[in-house]
Amino acid sequence: IAAGTGEFEAGISKDGQTREHALLAYTLGVKQLIVAINKMDTTKWSEERYQEIIKETSNFIKKVGYNPKTVPFVPISGFNGDNMIEASTNCPWYKGWEKETKTKTTGKTLLEAIDNIDPPVRPSDKPLRLPLQDVYKIGGIGTVP
């Protein structure tokens, strides 16, 4: 999510891309989410802006079907590399992210949030399954996926 003034608001507006991506992810079965709040350097690492984005984002991902308490919110600057791999000194107010799953998990960086994604259970004991996009009925041949 872009933290810039106007960018965040455009993303979570009724037809915004952020809102659409959250809905698509949930619809496609994505169970775990990480919210990286990018471009925090453009807000001069404003804690108020960070909290505002968390509040608004939590409200709309809850409506989509996610539990905000299971979602880590990480303030980052992709351009400068802040809070990506190592904790940044630009946001002394930031104490780290926290997510509640079976166990409480905490961390500071985006990498730590990614490392703490629980791998999904794979039905490896079942036959191979492939997703189909379209099915065609061809005369004389039959139904072809």
Does residue 112 form part of some domain? Answer: yes
Residue ranges making up the domain that contains 14: 7-120
Number of domains in the chain: 1
Does residue 127 form part of some domain? Answer: no
Does residue 34 form part of some domain? Answer: yes
- The model scores a pTM over 0.85: no
- DSSP output for 7-32: HHHHHHSTT-HHHHHHHHHHHTT---
Confidence (pLDDT) at 131: 82
Quote the tokens at residue 90. Answer: 């630009």
- The CATH code of the domain that includes 36 is 3.40.50.300
Confirm if 97 and 106 have CB atoms less than 8 A apart.
Answer: yes
Does residue 14 form part of some domain? Answer: yes
* DSSP state for residue 63 in the 8-state scheme: H
pLDDT digits (tens, 9 = 90+) for 61-120: 999 999 999 999 999 999 999 999 999 999 999 999 999 988 899 999 999 999 999 988
pLDDT-based confidence at 47, cuts 50/70/90? Answer: very high
